[in-house]
Amino acid sequence: MFPAMGAGKLPTNDAEIIARIIDVEKGFVDNPADRGGPTKYGISLGFLADLLPGASKADVQALTIDDAVEIYQAEFIIKPGFSSILDPVLRWTVVDAAVNHGPKPATKLLQRALGVKDDGVLGDITRHAIYQADQRKLSIRVCTMRARLYSLITSKNLEDKDRDGIPDNLEMLNGWTDRAMTLIETILA
């Protein structure tokens, strides 16, 4: 179903971007330390319930790859305006951030990396700044800002819902940071 992606090969279109994200996110996960709750292919119960009020854990489990592709295209690329990001590597970077943080926070990360007002709306000023920027450097700046955000999230919330003695966000930190660093390594390869 997905285009073949060689190791270190950069995505060139939305299908490849979505395939990369689904490959990273994998199938169904219900980790009590994850604030997103039950998740499949990166689509969390919280996000699905926003789209389909009353959605349940069973609805998350029932998601197909085709459902995930449709949701990513509509909600993580088209709706937030990321389809206006012409460089596929920068688009991948921002869409991947949106999957972790939400589309509006991802837009704010992009805006901060650009040095424009961070209102979470990908409007004319942001698009103009994108077109003026070195796309690879901007992608790396967004990833770096994500790594810093992960540290901030971890230090600000020491909740331990799964009661294992380790703050939940600290349990997630390695995976979050590895995700941003892998993006940087792939961009630089």
156 found inside a domain: yes
E strand or H helix at 39, and its extent? Answer: strand 39-40
- Can you tell me the distance from the alpha carbon of 138 to that of 148, in angstroms, rounded to the nearest whole number? 15
pLDDT in tens, 104-122: 999 999 999 999 999 999 9
Tell me the CATH number at 147: 1.20.141.10
Q: What is the pTM of this model?
A: 0.86
173 found inside a domain: yes
152 found inside a domain: yes
4 found inside a domain: no
Q: At what angle do helices 135-156 and 88-101 cross, to 10 degrees?
A: 10
Structurally, the chain folds into a number of domains equal to: 1
> If pLDDT is split at 50, 70 and 90, which confidence band does 68 have?
very high
> If pLDDT is split at 50, 70 and 90, which confidence band does 31 have?
confident
Number of DSSP helices (H) and strands (E) in the chain, helices first: 9, 3
8 found inside a domain: no
Task: Supply the range of the domain harboring residue 142.
Answer: 14-188
Residue 107 C-alpha from the chain's centroid: 11
pLDDT in tens, 133-170: 999 999 999 999 998 887 777 777 777 777 777 766 66
5 found inside a domain: no
3 found inside a domain: no
